[in-house]
Amino acid sequence: MDLSQYAELFLAESREHLSACNHLLLEWERSPANPAPVAGLFRAVHTVKGMAATMGYARVTDLAHRTESLLDALRRGARPADDALLQLLFRARDALARAVELSVAGREEHIDVAEVTADLDRALVALAPPGEPRAAAAVPAVEPGAPAAGGAPSAAPGHLVEVTLRAEAPLKGARAALLLQRAQGLGAVHGIVPPAASFEAEDFDGRFRFRLATSLPAAEIERALRAAGDVETVRVGATDAGELGDDGDAAGGGAAGRVEGGRSRHVRVDLRRLDALMNLIGELVTARGRLTELAARARDPALDDVALQLSRLAADLQTEIMQARLTPVWQVFDRFPRVVRDLARELGKQVAFRVEGKEIELDRAILDELGDPLLHLLRNAVDHGIEPPAERRRRGKKPEGEIVLAAVRERTHVAITVADDGRGIDRAAILERAKRDGVVEPHVETLSDEQLLRVLARPGFSTAEAVTSVSGRGVGIDVVATRVRALGGSVDVRSTPGAGTTFVLRLPVTLAIVPALIAGVGEERYALPLNYVAETVDLAAQARTTVEGREAIVLRERVVPLVHLRRLLGVGGEPPPRSPVIVLELGDRRTGLVVDGMLGRQEIVVKGFDAPAGTLPVFSGATVMSDGTPALILDAGGLLS
């Protein structure tokens, strides 16, 4: 039986266990005298070892076994963690992660763990009491399909074999498949109940039975099958074909009944399937809009009813699919504590890292794109923000700095903040470098938060005097701003000298299908996501003013600067006598977008696009209108900056 079908499941579960190892090691490092994390580490590595053995990944199995042996010695001796041991365990965890990835990719020959395994063995020997040297025990290789003792079977009465795997066994389907391979090495296997194909089901509980044609005694069959590992019970009894036929039907349906009971309410779904479903629902939304338009023109009550029913069903289907795509942010956040810890050690700084709002959910497509921007901001906070311990003491601060990564829901958006209590951004140094590079005018004396972000987000801008492994390459904030705006979001920065810096990333919950306001300028139509629309007003009815040379209106005692879309895009001709203003709001910033007219509300399917060189940075994507014509989607973040 081919075990490769379980490779993706093995990879996903191994990543979860190795992520848990990271957190447990960090917890142990914070409290070296606390032995509790060691037990969790042992269980996680033991599970990875068992899964790797099931899959036949010998090098992963060996490395996990050596790591497990060291953890077992630490667990039994209840020894407090010292820095050298923790560093070794961090290295072993990282080596395991690499080995898992390479094994699943079919590149086991590229796994090089000789150095870390040697260090693990030396550490294990060093932990042994005097006069009792210990060494890592060899791991029995798991050879899927290898016949057990006894050789090839001869034709003989069959045995009814009933197997129950351990309740806590990982990859039950793969383990059951491996056990069947071992059974096939003993004789012909027939009448598998439930069928082997059902081993892949989420609700497979590890109980199955089959008929084995072999002359081997029951004790030898049981011993061979138990060698597959994670077996709770094996019952072997003589039977004839009448008790269990080749079609799998047996007298008494106990095992089948057990398999049917206790079904799980969760299943694993390949992300590619969710993406395909979202693409299909996107096409359905476009077709729905077209049908609604045709029904309105036809004025046929029967067609109206069908269009209304289809619209309602499509909306419900869309909601369900979008809910299925929502993913808790912890799936991205969980890798950052280790990143911050390693970087702080490299730079000789003390940093306490805290994560808040892990349960907040975002569309998986957005979440997948957030890793790099957040990594840049966290590296920036550790490198530029948090001061060395001695400097913090001189400033009257505690030597350990603090960085907080938090997610909060804000109406239709999610705000993700990266905040530190470090030295804050040196606005004078930024302004001086910006003037030297010609980024700002020579007469500018200070930078507001908004101006500061615009300067920091310029490609290649950096104040670092030397290039290191962390800083000085002129990448960082520009990557963050570009990526977040491409996702339909915005970036804000707040910084106070001596008190710290906070970056706020505001993102839509979902990006694939969004309600939008359709605006017209000249002969073209543009879509503006309603998430950013605060209100609409008539330009002629508002009081006008000027702020820093920029036209603005006064709206309920608040000054709102204006952007004329016709002028911005260079559209010729005269604007209409009465122009509506779409007031955009993002965080605490507002801008009024002046357009020729508003053409209604429509749900749009967002498609990414590569803007031609020289295109203004005010578009975040494209869509297809209900009549089949394309339209560009306006980027509220670009218009507000």
Same domain, 474 and 349: yes
Domain boundary among 306, 327, 348: 327
The answer to whether 212 and 187 are in contact (CB under 8 A) is yes
Domain boundary among 279, 302, 327: 327
**Distance between first and last Cα of the chain:** 59
Residue 152 lies in a domain: no
**Letter for the amino acid at 483?**
R
Cα Rg of the chain, angstroms: 32
Phi, psi for 49 (deg, rounded to 5): -60, -45
| pTM for the model | 0.68
The total number of structural domains in the chain stands at: 5
Does residue 332 carry a pLDDT above 50? yes
Same domain, 499 and 568: no
Same domain, 314 and 336: no
Orientation of helix 58-77 relative to helix 83-104, angle to 10°? 160
Q: How far apart are CA 283 and CA 322, in angstroms?
A: 15
Residue 141 lies in a domain: no
Residues of the domain holding 15? 3-127
Buried b (16+ CB within 10 A) or exposed e, 55-72: bbbbbbbbbbbbbbbbbb
Does residue 242 carry a pLDDT above 80? no
Q: How far apart are CA 467 and CA 473, in angstroms?
A: 6
What is the mean predicted confidence (pLDDT) over 159-182? 85
Same domain, 39 and 173: no
Torsion sign, CA atoms 48, 49, 54, 60: positive
Does residue 325 carry a pLDDT above 50? yes
Residue 423 lies in a domain: yes
Residue 93 lies in a domain: yes
- Angle 330-336-341 (CA atoms, 0-180°, nearest 5)? 145
pLDDT in tens, 336-378: 999 999 999 999 999 999 999 999 998 888 888 888 899 999 9
Same domain, 363 and 469: yes
Same domain, 102 and 22: yes
Token pair for 562: 């204006």
The CATH code of the domain that includes 278 is 1.10.287.560
Same domain, 490 and 560: no
What is the mean predicted confidence (pLDDT) over 308-328? 86
Domain boundary among 282, 311, 327: 327
The CATH code of the domain that includes 579 is 2.40.50.180
Same domain, 624 and 528: yes
Task: Indicate the range of 48-62, 300-314, 543-557, 601-615 predicted with least confidence.
Answer: 601-615
Confidence of residue 641 (pLDDT cuts 50, 70, 90): low
Beta sheet of 158-165, edge-to-edge order? 188-193, 207-213, 158-165, 231-238
Q: How far apart are CA 145 and CA 224, in angstroms?
A: 12
The answer to whether 618 and 634 are in contact (CB under 8 A) is yes
- The DSSP code for 382 is I
The answer to whether 41 and 94 are in contact (CB under 8 A) is no
pLDDT in tens, 62-116: 999 999 999 999 988 767 778 999 999 999 999 999 999 999 999 989 999 999 9
Phi, psi for 602 (deg, rounded to 5): -155, 145
Same domain, 292 and 360: no
Same domain, 357 and 504: yes
Does residue 428 carry a pLDDT above 70? yes
What is the mean predicted confidence (pLDDT) over 462-476? 50
pLDDT of 138 reads 47
Task: Indicate the range of 68-72, 199-203, 303-307 predicted with least confidence.
Answer: 199-203
Confidence of residue 424 (pLDDT cuts 50, 70, 90): very high
